[in-house]
Amino acid sequence: MTSSWPASVAALPRSPTSDPTLSRQRRGFWLRTLHQWHWISSAICLIGMLAFAATGLTLNHAAGIEAKPQTIQRSLVLPAPLLATLGDRQGGEAALPPTVADWLGHQLDISIGRRTGEWSPEEIYLSMPGPGADAWLSLDRESGAVEYEHTRRGWVSYFNDLHKGRNTGPAWGWFIDLFAVACLVFCITGLFLLHLHANQRRMTWPLVGLGLLIPLLLALLLIH
């Protein structure tokens, strides 16, 4: 007597996970989706990654890159009517009156806006650093004498400060955050693409492991 068990088992419907056509369709969907996000994030990050990589080199060799700072000094006197608008504040931090800030900005060709300064009974001091530059302004509250100095350290220093987000303001800070998110998307989608292609590329995971091992060993053994 021949058992019908094998035939009945063969007749049972296969589970979706064992269907090769469905598996290929699922793999194709994830490949298309990951490739799409990968190329979009890479396009967004391309120029930024080139700039940050280049400034990473200049920062790492900053001591060997010669800089020639250029300093500008200006002196002028605040008109008496504007001097009177300063009031009698004795100390603390506050912005200059808008009329004073506008007059100084026009005379010195700078933007002061609502930048806060350090007030004392004798003077008002404004520190105005920027990427690749340092500047300060001192205003004598009795005589109205204004001293202004601006030092520019060159384009390499400018881009190095952009890399570090030093004295760049909130807009650049937001850009760095969004750029970092795009880089994370680029790297994570790349990792999943490596996973999907790893069976055809045997050196995938050894190379990924090497990329982790080298900086880890350098940090543990050679950084003190």
13 vs 6: CA distance, rounded Å: 13
Q: What is the pLDDT of residues 53-108, one digit of tens each?
A: 999 999 999 888 888 899 999 999 999 999 999 988 888 999 999 999 999 999 99
- Dihedral (Cα; 213, 218, 219, 220), 10-degree rounding: 80
- pTM, two decimals, is 0.79
Nearest Cα residue to 124 out of 103, 144, 151, 98 = 144
Sheet strands side by side (includes 133-140):
70-77, 145-152, 133-140, 123-127, 116-119, 92-95
Q: What is the pLDDT of residues 188-221, one digit of tens each?
A: 999 999 999 898 889 999 999 999 999 999 999 9
- Can you read off the two tokens belonging to residue 25? 């369709």
